[in-house]
């Protein structure tokens, strides 16, 4: 396989850019095509059938871009539609943020008590708990849906009393369970890290699946012998389904740098 | 025209059910077909081009259901895509919630100072201010986007400290402007009436465009001679684009009664 082919990364909207940011830092020589379904975002409150349908469309689009690897950078799609992606991808390797987050949490939790926060669809799917129990049957997993975190992040209220109060309310039940790790099971949540750290206290470690997914990608590319050997930093493409004005503004907050040109596809 | 034909009411999702509720109470003999685009909700953070495209699809669907009147029960669609609906509807009359809200606010404001709250797209469109200035050039209009109100209502936090704090923050600038009316420019907001009433105080009147739109519909049906003369309560149809589980649960909170069967269309 031609190792200069890009990695395809996709999300329901903007959140997956936290994964792109981690990939840019960990794998600066890799080309990336990012796809964000901004015309139909958010997915986290929609049904499994609808999410499967949207996910199949995005997968087909990225396969047409001749990607060498697919990364599902959306916990909701990873939770309920990863099989759809793998079936369509055939021999192209597929990674996802749930695998990354579940591995990292299980390998470092000492008290074997892990909390997972995410969108309602991610939490209802039970995908994190299932994967963590496969990796370690002795682990205790407590999940909590936090539907207001995504709109709060998109509003830019990253360190606001409203967000603090909301976090305290959502996290109260899981903190009562003596957990030592909190998995950020949604790609918007890394932007709330400083606030969440304050709410959970120093005893609880935050697991950011963007970072662990970038590590998993690096290891997989090496193992498969398809890591880029380019000598210059790689070009990036960003593709969305809605007019990219809002994506551009909010996206730079997620990416920590300028986005450059953003393409729009019409579906 | 056959006056037994249904009224078509549509919204990006669930919110328009507050208009259906007002129509059921004001016009109990009218048949209603409601369309909620739950697979692509919310619209309020999307671009005008995308909203126009989605709105055209919904309009065509309802025209195929042989409706005698169309009601745009979504402020965002009314703000940026009402022309799309009117062009496609031809001789079928089209009402919208912005017309209803603007008329009610202008006719009852004494101090000529009116605040409008809505989604970012509704507020950025300036549609309420434009319509109110047409009706009364002397009126002062102050607009404020409240993007967190929709997710807060859908979370069911109708009377929660987080919602109170959010409302205080959003409304501070408009309340500083000596307004005597607050237009609820989004169909989710009527569920926040008791809380908003507390935040704005007794001097400011809340204008609920669901109620005023139902009044406008009653007057228009009479004027056009197409009001139903049925002797029994009318049957209702609810059509959505996502699996209706969540629509059914949250929808009954909006409608104040059981929804019955909900149909799903595949697009």
Q: Tens of pLDDT along B113-135?
A: 999 999 999 999 999 999 999 99
pLDDT of residue B140: 97
List, in sequence order, every beta strand (DSSP E) within chain B: 7-11, 32-36, 69-72, 94-96, 113-118, 140-145, 181-184, 205-208, 236-240, 263-264
Query: What is the average pLDDT value for chain B, to the nearest integer?
Result: 95
| Min Cα separation B242/chain A (Å) | 6
**Given the structure tokens 């304050």, which residue do they identify?**
A198
- For B110, what's the count of Cα atoms within 13 Å in the CB-facing half-sphere? 4
**Considering only CB atoms, which residues of chain A are within 8 Å of chain B?**
38-40, 45-50, 147-148, 150-152, 154-155, 157, 161-162, 165-166, 169, 241-243, 245-246
pLDDT of residue A1: 75
Structure tokens at B98: 């912005």
The terminus-to-terminus CA distance of chain B in angstroms comes to: 30
Least confident span in A164-178, A253-267, B193-207? A253-267
Q: Tens digit of pLDDT for each residue in A200-221?
A: 999 999 999 899 999 999 999 9
**Given the structure tokens 């039970």, which residue do they identify?**
A126
**Average pLDDT of the residues in B204-213:** 94
**Closest Cβ opposite residue A47 in set B49, B162, B245:** B245
B148·A147 Cβ contact <8 A:
no
Structure tokens at B24: 């059921």
Domains B7-96+211-264 and B98-209 fall in the same CATH topology: yes
Q: What percent of chain B has pLDDT over 90?
A: 87
Residue A49: list chain B partners with CB under 8 A: 243
Residue A50: list chain B partners with CB under 8 A: 39, 241-243
Q: What percent of chain B has pLDDT over 70?
A: 100
List the one residue out of B18, B19, B23 whose CA is nearest residue B221. B23
Residues facing A142 on adjacent strands: A115
Interface test with A, best of B15, B43, B47, B54 (most A CBs within 10 A): B47
Identified catalytic residue from B81, B114, B182, B186? B186
Beta carbons within 8 Å of A260's beta carbon, 6+ residues apart: A236, A238
Under a CB-based contact definition with an 8 Å cutoff, are residues B119 and B74 in contact?
no
A243·B148 Cβ contact <8 A:
no
ipTM: 0.89
pLDDT of residue B45: 83
Q: What percent of chain A has pLDDT over 90?
A: 87
Residue B161: list chain A partners with CB under 8 A: 165
Identified catalytic residue from B74, B84, B129, B255? B74
**Closest Cβ opposite residue B242 in set A46, A147, A165:** A46
Query: What is the average pLDDT value for chain A, to the nearest integer?
Result: 95
**Closest Cβ opposite residue B49 in set A147, A243, A246:** A243
Under a CB-based contact definition with an 8 Å cutoff, are residues A179 and A110 in contact?
no
Residue A147: list chain B partners with CB under 8 A: 151, 154-155
Under a CB-based contact definition with an 8 Å cutoff, are residues A267 and A30 in contact?
no
Residue B241: list chain A partners with CB under 8 A: 50
Distance CA A32, CA A29 (A): 10
Domain spans in chain A, listed from the N-terminal domain onward: 7-96+211-264, 98-209
Under a CB-based contact definition with an 8 Å cutoff, are residues B140 and B110 in contact?
no
pLDDT of residue B81: 97
To the nearest 10°, the Cα dihedral for A149, A152, A154, A158?
A: -100
Under a CB-based contact definition with an 8 Å cutoff, are residues A40 and A107 in contact?
no
**Given the structure tokens 């205080």, which residue do they identify?**
B168
Residue B45: list chain A partners with CB under 8 A: 154, 246
- Residue burial A200-216, b: 16+ Cβ < 10 Å; e: rest: beeebbbbbbbbbbbeb
Name the strand (E) or helix (H) holding B85: helix B75-89
Query: Domain A98-209 classified CATH 3.40.50.1860?
Result: yes
| Min Cα separation B53/chain A (Å) | 10
> Does A172 have pLDDT greater than 90?
yes
**Considering only CB atoms, which residues of chain B are within 8 Å of chain A?**
38-40, 45-50, 147-148, 150-152, 154-155, 157, 161-162, 165-166, 169, 241-243, 245-246
Closest residue in B to A265 (Cα–Cα): B50
**Closest Cβ opposite residue A47 in set B50, B151, B242:** B242
**Known active-site residue A74:** yes
Identified catalytic residue from A19, A51, A74, A145? A74
Domain B7-96+211-264: which topology?
Answer: Rossmann fold (3.40.50)
Distance CA A169, CA B53 (A): 39
Q: Tens digit of pLDDT for each residue in B57-105?
A: 999 999 999 999 999 999 999 999 999 999 999 999 999 999 999 999 9
| Min Cα separation A57/chain B (Å) | 13
Under a CB-based contact definition with an 8 Å cutoff, are residues B229 and B221 in contact?
no
pLDDT band for position A230 (cuts 50, 70, 90): confident
List the one residue out of A104, A116, A89 whose CA is nearest residue A189. A116
**Average pLDDT of the residues in B164-169:** 98
**Closest Cβ opposite residue A49 in set B47, B48, B243:** B243
Closest residue in A to B12 (Cα–Cα): A40
> Does A14 have pLDDT greater than 90?
yes
């Amino acid at each position: 396989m031609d190792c200069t082919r890009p990695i395809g990364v996709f999300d329901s909207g903007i959140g997956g850019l936290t994964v792109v940011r981690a990939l840019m830092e960990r794998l600066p020589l890799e080309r990336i095509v990012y796809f964000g379904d901004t015309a139909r975002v958010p997915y986290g409150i929609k049904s499994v059938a609808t999410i499967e349908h949207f996910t199949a469309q995005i997968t087909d689009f990225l396969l047409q871009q001749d990607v060498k690897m697919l990364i599902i950078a959306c916990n909701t799609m990873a939770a309920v539609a990863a099989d759809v992606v793998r079936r369509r991808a055939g021999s192209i390797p597929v990674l996802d943020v749930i695998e990354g987050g579940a591995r990292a949490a299980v390998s470092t939790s000492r008290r074997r008590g892990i909390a997972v926060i995410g969108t309602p669809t991610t939490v209802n799917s039970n995908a994190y708990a299932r994967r963590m129990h496969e990796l370690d049957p002795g682990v205790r997993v407590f999940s909590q849906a936090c539907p207001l975190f995504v709109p709060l992040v998109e509003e830019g209220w990253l360190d606001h009393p409203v967000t603090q109060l909301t976090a305290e309310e959502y996290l109260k039940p899981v903190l009562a369970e003596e957990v030592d790790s909190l998995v950020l099971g949604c790609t918007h949540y890394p932007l709330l890290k400083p606030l969440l750290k304050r709410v959970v206290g120093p005893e609880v470690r935050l697991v950011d699946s963007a970072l662990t997914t970038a590590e998993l990608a690096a290891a997989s590319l090496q193992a498969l012998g398809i890591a880029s050997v380019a000598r210059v930093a790689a070009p990036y493409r960003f593709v969305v389904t809605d007019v990219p004005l809002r994506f551009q503004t909010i996206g730079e907050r997620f990416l920590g740098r300028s986005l450059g040109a953003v393409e729009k596809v019409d579906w």
